[in-house]
Amino acid sequence: MVIMVKQPLASSLSCFVFCSFLIFGPKIGYADLSLLVPTLVFLLLGFSSHHPARVDGDLLKIGGFVFLLLTYQLVIQSFTAQFDVESSLRLARAGVTCLLLASAIGSRVFSSDAIVGSTYCALAVNSTLIIFAALFEPINMLMSEISGNDRIRHLRASGLLSGFDMAGLIALIGLLMTICDVPRIPSRLTRGVMMTLFVVSIYFTSRVTMAIAAVIISIYILRLALSRKVGILSKIPMVASFVAIGLYVLYDALLPLLEVTFNLGFFDVSDSDRLDILSRHAQQDETRFLWSDMIFFPDNLTEIVFGTGAEQVFSDVGYVKDVYRYGIIGVIFSIFIYVKIYSKGRQYVKKKSENNFAGLLLIIYVLIFSLTWKNNYFFTRNIFPLVLLLGFSRKMVSSFGKT
């Protein structure tokens, strides 16, 4: 396939619009702006161009795998007579996203630096919207209309995303990018401001991601304290901060969350805290809040192995939903696709100076595989394009003006 593009590298503004809508673009009726706007940006760059574009083979294969999984699910649906249109469209969208990015990367429309920088800015903008929406109800109402998240809570917001957990994970990735210095932020003051922005936005989203963020910050502080660059007088308050944050996470966030979620009966949790935790879960039905109530599988072995074709609406757990969609076979194949994306992304990081980037990718994938026990993060409309943008960004030209 050949598409004409005007120049090897596009402007920063075009790249920002491309990445922002790919990750956060809303769906208005049948119009999915997360695909329409990036496609329009790409095509507009090509109409007056004389430079032929190519399609990236690796991303094309990833897209092929996604469409193969979609085909498998449709076959299962035809056998079980259970048709889950939304679930099928989710995979179709993921496949189209692969094809769009395959064209953008293969044709060198954007540079690696532009993709990473634009993605980071997009995450920062959403975190800013989360903070303002949480503090000002009219903004929260407006964001709710855009995102489709109708669960408006006091001091809670999801920005342009439809769920609190998803918003928390996206903000957490922004925090990780800041800590890993991806993209490079030369000013310590700017890095501190950005870390504060993401941490505050996480506070307004999900308790789980807030606990994870506290752990990450604690480790970051401990690392600084153990660094030879830090004097002994500076190490003492850093270690004290590490201990304080750790105790806060344990007693104020983690233990109450475990007590309410698993109904342990070991710890005292106030009624206000219990109601606050109940309001932060993803399921609408608060009588089915316990995590243990959400771990269940189809009734017979055939459906467990091959799936039913449709997701289970009474569980938030991503692995449970996927077992219902396409069985253990589909779950294993989904994990294979994500491992393939990670291995390709890791392969493109060849310089030792980019070890932070490689570490960032690893942590993101560990989070996705782990948090899928709580919610659904495979091939979702926000996380999947973000994973592709970061994973394949290093395959592009390093920066503007270089070939």
Q: What are phi and psi of 280, to 5 degrees?
A: -100, 0
The single-letter code of the amino acid at 385 is: P
Instruction: Enter the pTM of the model.
Output: 0.85
State how far Cα 350 lies from the chain centre.
Answer: 24
* Distance (Å) of CA 272 to CA 60, 133, 159, 268, 319: 50, 22, 25, 12, 31
The label of the residue with tokens 């109530």 reads 293
Regions in the chain scoring below 70 on pLDDT: 1-10, 46-53, 227-236, 238-239, 241-242, 245-246, 249-254, 257-267, 272-292, 350-353, 397-403
* Distance (Å) of CA 296 to CA 271, 300, 317, 319, 371: 29, 12, 10, 10, 17
User: Which helix (H) or strand (E) element contains residue 32?
Assistant: strand 31-32
Task: Say whether the peptide bond before residue 183 is cis (omega within 30 degrees of 0).
Answer: yes
Strand partners, 52: 4
CA-to-CA distance for 391 and 393, rounded, in angstroms?
6
- Please, what is the end-to-end C-alpha distance for the chain in angstroms? 22
396 and 213 in contact (C-beta within 8 Å)? no
Q: List the one residue out of 118, 153, 111, 150 whose CA is nearest residue 24.
A: 118
CB count, 10 Å around CB of 129?
Answer: 24
Give the DSSP letter string of 80-115: HT---HHHHHHHHHHHHHHHHHHHHHHTT-S-HHHH
**SS3 at position 51:** strand
Q: List the one residue out of 300, 296, 301, 306 whose CA is nearest residue 331.
A: 306
Predicted local distance difference test score (pLDDT) of residue 231: 61
What residues contact 289, with CB distance under 8 A and at least 6 apart? Answer: 260, 261, 278, 281, 283
Establish how many alpha carbons lie within 13 A of residue 26's alpha carbon, considering only the half-sphere containing its beta carbon.
16
The single-letter code of the amino acid at 346 is: R
Show the DSSP H helices in 48-187 as ranges.
Answer: 57-80, 85-106, 112-135, 137-147, 164-179
Tokens of 127: 């975190």
151 and 280 in contact (C-beta within 8 Å)? no
Give the DSSP letter string of 231-281: -HHHHHHHHHHHHHHHHHIIIIIIHHHHHHHHT-SSS---HHHHHHHHTTS
Predicted local distance difference test score (pLDDT) of residue 339: 94
